[in-house]
Structure 1
Amino acid sequence: MMRKNQTTALFMLIFGLLAGIFCHHYIDKQWLERAVSYELYSNLDGQLAYKFKGKEILVGELIPYQLSPLSQENLDKLETEPSIEQQWVQDSQGSIRLLKPAFHFGVWSLLPAFITVCLCLLTREPLISLLTGIIVGAFMLGQFDVIDKVLIPNLASEGTAGLLLLYLWLLGGLLGIWTKTGAAQAFADYMAKHFVKGPKSAKLVTWLLGVLFFQGGTMSTVLVGTTVRPLADKAKVSHEEMSYIVDSTASPIAAVLAFNAWPAYVQALIFVPGVAFLATESDRLSFFFSSIPFSFYGIFAVLGTLLLSLNITKFSGKRIQQAHQRAATTGALDAPHARPLSAKELQTVAVPANYRSNMLEFVVPLVCLISIAIGTFIALGSPKVNWAFTAALLLSGGIALIKGMSLNDLIDGFGTGLKGVVLASVILMLAVIIGSISKQIGGGLYLVSLLAEQLPYWLVPLTLQLITMIIAFSTGTSWGTYAIAFPLAMPLAWEISQVQQLANPELYLMICFATVLNGSIYGDQCSPISDTTVLSAMTTGCDLMDHVKSQIVPASLAAAMAAILWAALVYIYV
């Protein structure tokens, strides 16, 4: 069986590379008009401007829409690439928006993600699979010098450098110091003695922390996974269960308890010209929060992890049930074939002989980390995660030195932490790169363009859910999917509500909005190339593909239940 999988994987690899070259030479790019609307105002100098990330940006020269080379009519006539990258236009109704051209290769745009996921499933080697997907995407774009033209520019970008700093140096160093000082183990011992009496209570603590850290995304995943790993290992909870609980209470809870950065980001993407209840930023924020009761996938995902925490595994799927039974009967936290992303160095406590561990060495830096993250979010509008982890790292090191640990031992622990997360950090960076390439070649745009055909109103929400699930799974990002899907889905839903004369168009838009929001979360959560998926496996010590395969069943069940409710609501009330 293994040999057959390897042969199939080799065939997929060769096919992907040849198909990438074929696409570049023989498949024409299909250019699409993409319009972005901002809330404009006149500044003190009387110039049109808008705010972006707190900065005032002036609107450029306005061109009549019909004359713009970036209008869809003119893009359809193109034989080469557009001569400009963006242009401000004004239509006959006076609406002003920014046009940016985008393209896709039709169904071929899904090729890099398809090859990557298939290789992950066949080989269980995410590193090779991600690299192959990146190379295929680069070939499609004509970038045959993959190292100099793709990998190095992406690795040198601000976003990737930030990932490297946070997850390799800061997170790895912090975990290494906690291992060297025995702080994590001391915390686990204390929790086991006073609060955690077995696997059920360990999982309940994990679920509760996931709900409390409702900022969502990578920050929530890292905080919860790092905190609960030592006590869950001591309580003999399988790593598949832990990684699922951590992952499924990250982004899903952020969509339900949305007192975070999500509404501010999403509201900027859902403006629809002529729709009064989406006219201003405050209107769109109110619309977001009014739509929360329809976030059925987020609600079911969080409830599903609560049931699992209570040892009710009936809805968790065969793999999680087997993992639960294995840990309960044999004490084995991983399957026999597993290759955990967390290195063995971080699972072995090597405290110097003359050093006495204390659980406060774990708790105090963690409280500091959370306080800075939440405090900066309240004060500045976004959590400064790097500040938080830097402060926690310095505090942990300082406490250790004050208590008498030698500098050599401290540096040794720091280095051990770096070694322990280097593989996961590389996988994380490659996942970000392939997500960027998938977006660049237009996989998401192609899928959404399929909705251009007339659809019955009752089918639109389910179609939006399915499309966004596929986009997010293919690109590994929910926020990236929002940027692709919302500007297309919301006007589509509004147009259908008007053409088909629906009785309650605002409710209809809320349901369509919820399907895009939740479908993207599902795809991101289940994707093997998502940063939160990788981090959930890394921080809990789980094999990446074991995590992906085990959580896709309960997540899909929650998505199916959500789809049924959305369809029922549209059919009955709209």
Structure 2
Amino acid sequence: MTASARNLNFGTLSVFLVASLVAALVGQMWGPTWTVETTPLGVQTDEDGKQSITFDGEPRSLEDAIPLEEIQLTPEELNDSKLRWEAEPLNQLGFEDNGASERSFFQIESQRHWGVWSFLPAIITIGLCWVTKEPISSLLAGIVVGALLMGQFDILGGVLIPSISTTTAATILILYLWLLGGLMGVWAKTGASQAFAEYMAKNYVRGPRSAKFVAWLLGVIFFQGGTISSVLVGTTVKPLADKERVSHEELSLIVDATSSPIAILLAFNAWPIYIQAFLGVAGVSYLATEKSRLEFFFGAVPLSFYAAFSVLATLLLALDKHPLMPRKLKLARQRARETGELNAPGSEPLANEAFQESDVTILHPATPLDFFLPLIALLGIAIGTYKALGSPNVLWAFGAALLLAACMAWVKGMTLRTIIGAVLEGQKSVILGSVILLLAITIGKISQDVGAGHYLVSLLGDFPWHWALPAAVFLIAVVIAFSTGTCWGTYAVTFPLVMPLAYAVATNQELTHPDLFMAICFAACLNGGVFGDQCSPISDTTILSSISTGADLMDHVTTQIPIALQAAGLALVLWTGMAYYCA
């Protein structure tokens, strides 16, 4: 280990220890500040004349309400007694008599925050990610700091286990680790995805433009996004694109720009299930349950302007029709076509021959149908359940796709042992991602529990220019994602802050269309994470796009950022205009 590496490790450990000590002292000596919010609730009457109240997204009987005077929750009582340290956040249904047998019903919720210290877990997580480039240890550090701030010293039993034993965490684990990993493993073992991609490439590539268009089209087809799309598209198209003299700067940009942006536009994947866990806001009925949050996610997809413009700009680039192509990208295209030099002079390509090697079992040759039919099943069930139930059941979709892919492999002669082995190999490839996701869920829950979003609302709830809020949250997400190299980790930190803030601004300024304003702010934050991740030199998709296409990392980054900025500029104009309309 070099001296600089030892100094970095010592500095990182010192920062973590100091932050942990500060969190423990603040939590024990100052304690939280409590607030109590009372939100009026309406009474609904069904066709049979039965009355009920929607409380936290679920219908509740009027008899479940408790008189307000019996709840006895006031900020003065909570802040001026030992309850300040001992009380737990409470969410209760209450009523108040108005006379003449009439009652008004309310949601009474106590919330706590530690002032500016509420941001400490997120700051430590982001800061260590930036310095160490290692997300797992950074997330764990943020979790420990947050737990100590709340006075919770049992990190495993009191924080980690309750977080990862939730339905949301289990769903993420089953979907991302078992089903998605297993499906990719079967496709890799049978050669299904490679056979389909090669068929598309060999039958449609007739020159540089068609080679780039096939790369763009495959990026759309592999709409799961992220590392999977980057590796599959890049490794499949690179040999054909190299023959047609497509510069590696262009090819890596197309591969990268059709990974995460496509995943939020064609969101029949793991993204909605993961993100919805961070969208709950007290008093907002359409964000109270997982089903309603998924509906909100899909309803906001048309507002993902950055992703749409990014994909469109990439298509124009592939067709050589982009009207504002940056000079460096023009020179790269000219160099490759005139000289055959696919990388710039002096570049250091991140070539990795392992990405060019196939893991296909040649005794079981695949056809494009081996990939296409499970994909149809996946899309059909996801879209069908979305139309029928209001939200896609991606667990059913991926489960059916995996089962169909496995059955097709078995019918073609692959043994059951080989199929199970392929599933396990695929699952191994996403274990690291699964661990990061579970830790990200935990740090997101801690950000909510320490009241970071609530404190931010208390500071910015009277934000005077509501129309500027979408741009602000977009830039916040960009900075965090660019600094950490992960959009999913960014969402765990930002959404618990952004959604309560957007709701407070919409309520305080009495916007005419508060639900639309909430959707705009959500879309801006969602797309900001994608932008930052896509352009970050420490992002896994950026690095894998460079490796799989044989591009120099910084050449890829510097040629991609101008195109991304153009898409971001157009998106900010539309978000700001729509937010202004919400008044």
Coarse TM-score class (shorter-chain normalised): 0.7 to 0.9
Aligned to 2:91: 86
Q: List aligned pairs for 1:454-473, cutoff 5 A.
A: 455-456=463-464, 459-463=465-469, 465-467=471-473, 470=476
State the number of aligned residues. 529
* Superposed displacement of residue 438, structure 1: 1.6
Aligned to 1:25: 28
For residues 408-432 of structure 1, what are the alpha-carbon distances to aligned partners after superposition, in whole Å with 9 as ceiling and x for unaligned?
3323322221222222221222222
Q: List aligned pairs for 1:475-490, cutoff 5 A.
A: 476=489, 485-486=498-499, 489-490=502-503
* Superposed displacement of residue 301, structure 1: 4.8
Letter in 2 for 1:16: A
Letter in 1 for 2:368: M
* Superposed displacement of residue 209, structure 1: 4.4
Gaps of 5+ in 2: 242-247, 286-295, 482-487
Q: List aligned pairs for 1:366-385, cutoff 5 A.
A: 366-385=375-394
Letter in 1 for 2:261: S
User: CA–CA distance in 1 between the matches of 2:386 and 2:580?
Assistant: 40
Please identify, of 363-372 and 198-207, the stretch whose mean Cα deviation from structure 2 is larger: 198-207
* Superposed displacement of residue 193, structure 1: 0.7
- 1:145 aligned onto 2:154: yes
User: CA–CA distance in 2 between the matches of 1:158 and 1:68?
Assistant: 30
CA 1:463 to 1:399, structure 2 compared with 1: closer, same or farther past 3 Å?
Answer: closer
- 1:248 aligned onto 2:254: no
User: CA–CA distance in 2 between the matches of 1:415 and 1:244?
Assistant: 30
Match of 2:135 among 104, 126, 130: 126
CA 1:399 to 1:261, structure 2 compared with 1: closer, same or farther past 3 Å?
Answer: closer
User: CA–CA distance in 1 between the matches of 2:42 and 2:544?
Assistant: 40
CA contact (8 A) 2:216 2:314 kept: no
Give secondary structure in 1 for the equivalent of 2:53: strand
Give secondary structure in 2 for the equivalent of 1:173: helix
Aligned to 2:429: 420
CA contact (8 A) 2:66 2:94 kept: yes
User: CA–CA distance in 2 between the matches of 1:391 and 1:293?
Assistant: 27
CA contact (8 A) 2:35 2:112 kept: yes
Q: List aligned pairs for 1:282-431, cutoff 5 A.
A: 297=306, 300-306=309-315, 348-431=357-440
CA contact (8 A) 1:225 1:540 kept: yes
CA contact (8 A) 2:256 2:541 kept: yes
User: CA–CA distance in 1 between the matches of 2:474 and 2:468?
Assistant: 10
CA contact (8 A) 1:180 1:350 kept: yes
**Percent of residue pairs bearing the same amino acid type:** 32
User: CA–CA distance in 1 between the matches of 2:281 and 2:69?
Assistant: 24
CA 1:469 to 1:146, structure 2 compared with 1: closer, same or farther past 3 Å?
Answer: farther
Aligned to 1:276: none
* Superposed displacement of residue 239, structure 1: 5.8
CA contact (8 A) 1:71 1:99 kept: no
* Superposed displacement of residue 381, structure 1: 2.3
CA contact (8 A) 1:448 1:467 kept: no
Q: List aligned pairs for 1:403-552, cutoff 5 A.
A: 403-453=412-462, 455-456=463-464, 459-463=465-469, 465-467=471-473, 470=476, 476=489, 485-486=498-499, 489-490=502-503, 492-493=505-506, 495-496=508-509, 506=512, 512-513=517-518, 515-525=520-530
Give secondary structure in 1 for the equivalent of 2:512: helix
Please identify, of 42-51 and 402-411, the stretch whose mean Cα deviation from structure 2 is larger: 42-51
Match of 2:212 among 189, 193, 200: 200
Q: List aligned pairs for 1:220-231, cutoff 5 A.
A: 228=233, 231=236
Aligned to 1:48: 52
User: CA–CA distance in 1 between the matches of 2:582 and 2:417?
Assistant: 68
* Superposed displacement of residue 160, structure 1: 1.5
* Superposed displacement of residue 365, structure 1: 1.1
* Superposed displacement of residue 133, structure 1: 1.7
User: CA–CA distance in 2 between the matches of 1:468 and 1:421?
Assistant: 29
Aligned to 2:245: none
Letter in 2 for 1:421: V
For residues 83-112 of structure 1, what are the alpha-carbon distances to aligned partners after superposition, in whole Å with 9 as ceiling and x for unaligned?
772222357997533222222212222222
Aligned to 1:11: 14
Please identify, of 135-144 and 346-355, the stretch whose mean Cα deviation from structure 2 is larger: 346-355
Letter in 2 for 1:184: S
CA contact (8 A) 1:70 1:87 kept: no
Aligned to 1:189: 198
Aligned to 2:117: 108
* Superposed displacement of residue 184, structure 1: 1.7
Match of 2:188 among 170, 179, 182: 179
Gaps of 5+ in 1: 214-218, 255-259, 274-286, 498-504
CA 1:106 to 1:267, structure 2 compared with 1: closer, same or farther past 3 Å?
Answer: closer
What's the TM-score once normalised by structure 2's chain length?
A: 0.71
User: CA–CA distance in 1 between the matches of 2:297 and 2:135?
Assistant: 36
CA contact (8 A) 1:90 1:97 kept: yes
Give secondary structure in 1 for the equivalent of 2:258: helix
Please identify, of 94-103 and 361-370, the stretch whose mean Cα deviation from structure 2 is larger: 94-103
Aligned to 1:278: none
* Superposed displacement of residue 294, structure 1: 7.5
Match of 2:61 among 58, 61, 70: 58
* Superposed displacement of residue 468, structure 1: 7.3
User: CA–CA distance in 1 between the matches of 2:365 and 2:12?
Assistant: 50
Match of 1:117 among 117, 126, 137: 126
User: CA–CA distance in 1 between the matches of 2:350 and 2:32?
Assistant: 41
User: CA–CA distance in 2 between the matches of 1:288 and 1:149?
Assistant: 30
User: CA–CA distance in 1 between the matches of 2:235 and 2:541?
Assistant: 14
CA contact (8 A) 1:291 1:510 kept: no
For residues 243-295 of structure 1, what are the alpha-carbon distances to aligned partners after superposition, in whole Å with 9 as ceiling and x for unaligned?
443212333677xxxxx999x9999979899xxxxxxxxxxxxx999999977
User: CA–CA distance in 2 between the matches of 1:5 and 1:565?
Assistant: 43
CA contact (8 A) 1:87 1:100 kept: yes
CA contact (8 A) 1:476 1:527 kept: no
Please identify, of 99-108 and 75-84, the stretch whose mean Cα deviation from structure 2 is larger: 75-84
User: CA–CA distance in 1 between the matches of 2:230 and 2:442?
Assistant: 24
Aligned to 2:291: none
